[in-house]
Amino acid sequence: MPNADTRVETPRDRRMAVPEGERQYHIGLGPGELAEYILLPGDQDRTSRIASRFDSIEREHRHREFASATGTYKGQRVSVISTGIGTDNVEIVVAEILAITQRPTLIRVGSCGALQPAMRLGDLVITTGAVRLETTTSWYVHDGYPAVADYEAVTALIEAAERLGHRYHVGVTATAPGFYGSQGRPIPQLPIRYPDLAEDMARQRVMNFEMEASALLVFASLAGCRAGVVCTVYANRTTGEFIDGAMKDAAEAACVETGLESLLVLAQIDAQKRTASTDRWRPSLWTT
């Protein structure tokens, strides 16, 4: 037939579970409901505490352990969404964020265990890269693939911590797939394979243990977007100390403040790149 429509519509891959451009199954959000600058706490209850710092809130949502809020902070549109615990949850959240945003900036704000003796409870740790002790990312990349933080995100987190006067350390993080045996913590009822793991990591100058960073950094690298990690020290594996009470609240506040301030710094960096018509920021572009 001369007027027949010969266009062939490519069938959607039936294996695909992430509906791009639609409301997402786990986080329950759709296009336009997240800002491009996003904080990622693990704890869902931390989301409301972060959102309480916003100038205004346009939307709050909660589905399963994924609590989110979008609003403005010091004039900048930002979002926060909890990932829950572990790299498997990070995979879900990052995949669904990518489906409904353009090119998000993702900053994890979390807690960690310190491995170096000079580190104190309540200090911040800014991650430059992560040891992939978990296996979630092995379903995506070669075992030798590095989990590296974006240099702009690292720079912004350092600048934020300096502006706010928070004590911080910068270095390599180890991301474990669990809290007990996979971080070398003894369990009376269960044998563990690597009881000296914390000491081994410390000898390799790893700064801290946590449970989400490597997945975030790998997925962001693969997606071509920007990610960074800042954690506050809740436990010191060298001394056996563990934070609690008012000191814990202050430590969380310092981490959250630093994460939010880093989003403002990154927005400044992006504005400077636009002015200079470049996609790579460098220190000579910095203007206050």
Catalytic residue (choose from 23, 26, 49, 77): 26
* CA 280 – CA 236 distance, rounded (Å): 37
Q: Is 26 a residue of the active site?
A: yes
Q: Which of 96, 210, 252, 257 is catalytic?
A: 96
- Residue type (1 letter), 142: H
- DSSP state letters, 222-278: HHT-EEEEEEEEEEETTT--B--HHHHHHHHHHHHHHHHHHHHHHHHHHHHHHHHT-
Cα 64 from Cα 73, distance rounded (Å)? 26
Neighbours of 233 (CB within 10 A): 26
- Bridge partners, residue 158, by sequence: none
Active site residue 96: yes
Which of 108, 166, 169, 185 is labelled catalytic?
185
Structure tokens at 31: 């296009």
Query: Catalytic site residue 134?
Result: no
How far apart are alpha carbons 283 and 42 in whole angstroms?
A: 32
Q: Which of 107, 134, 160, 113 is CA-nearest to residue 214?
A: 134
Q: 3-class DSSP state for residue 35?
A: coil
Contact between 183 and 209 (Cβ < 8 Å): yes
User: Would residue 237 show up in a list of annotated catalytic residues for this protein?
Assistant: yes
Cβ–Cβ under 8 Å, residues 131 and 178 = no
Catalytic residues: 26, 96, 185, 237
